[in-house]
Amino acid sequence: MTVSHHGPPRFLTRSHGHEYAIDAMLCATALAAPGPVTVLTSDPDDLAALCGGRVIVMKV
């Protein structure tokens, strides 16, 4: 059996743990809000990955 490993998603490789917490709280808040929800961010890739496509994420 061959396992291909391309590394973890970028949001898991950042060096500052507080950034993980901020992204996670923002995503949890967005997912808990009555939809549809749009989040504006300077880092849309990380939030899109965390929210699993259930939140509209737009770059500002």
Q: What are the tens digits of pLDDT across the range 3-28?
A: 445 555 555 555 556 677 888 899 99
Spatial separation of the C-alpha atoms in residues 54 and 49, rounded to whole Å: 10
Beta carbons of 10 and 50 less than 8 angstroms apart: no
Place of tokens 């009555």: 34
Confidence class of residue 1 from pLDDT cuts 50, 70 and 90? very low
Question: Which tops the pLDDT comparison, 33 or 14?
Answer: 33
Burial class (CB in 10 A: 0-12, 13-18, 19+), 8: exposed
